[in-house]
């Protein structure tokens, strides 16, 4: 069966510090991968998605970046965090089928980031 792991679960970082959140998927090949951010009391905002190794699409201009160094690994990074980067970050995956019919979106447990 497929599983998705995301870490760290929580972190508190000072403004201006770097960030690295990691996500790995097991039990499937060539998944589509996603990073979402959820501010308190809000819906999920799509940040990045990837349909293959090294292929990253950015949805929202910001000081975050994403990378996919391996088929089932997705990393969210920042060189210098802002207060506005605080939130709940979710990694997710769907089947990587031709034409984009991914079906159900499966989520990791999330990473809660507080920037002070």
Partner 1 sequence: EDKVVQSPLSLVVHEGDTVTLNCSYEVTNFRSLLWYKQEKKAPTFLFMLTSSGIEKKSGRLSSILDKKELFSILNITATQTGDSAVYLCAEEGTYKYIFGTGTRLKVLA
d(CA 97, CA 29): 11
Q: How far apart are CA 50 and CA 52, in angstroms?
A: 6
Q: How many CA atoms lie within 13 A of 18 on its CB side?
A: 6
Cα–Cα distance measured from residue 56 to residue 33, given in angstroms and rounded to the nearest whole number: 9
- In the stretch 11-40, what mask flags binding to partner 1 with x, by CB under 8 A? ---------------------x-x-x----
Minimal distance, residue 68 CB to partner 1, in Å:
14
Q: In whole angstroms, how close is the CB of 17 to partner 1 at the nearest point?
A: 24
By the rule CB under 8 A, 74 interacts with partner 1 = no
CB of 42 to partner 1, least distance (A): 6
């Amino acid at each position: 069966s497929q599983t998705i792991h995301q870490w760290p679960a929580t972190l508190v970082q000072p403004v201006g510090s770097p960030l690295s959140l990691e996500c790995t998927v097991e039990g499937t090949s060539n998944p589509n991968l996603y990073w979402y951010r959820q501010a308190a009391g809000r819906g999920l905002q799509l940040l990045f998605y990837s349909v293959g190794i090294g292929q990253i699409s950015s949805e929202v201009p910001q000081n975050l970046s994403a990378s996919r160094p391996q088929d089932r690994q997705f990393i969210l990074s920042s060189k210098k965090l802002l207060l506005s980067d605080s939130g709940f970050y979710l990694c997710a995956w769907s089947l990587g089928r031709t034409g984009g019919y991914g079906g159900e979106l499966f989520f990791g447990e999330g990473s809660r980031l507080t920037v002070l």
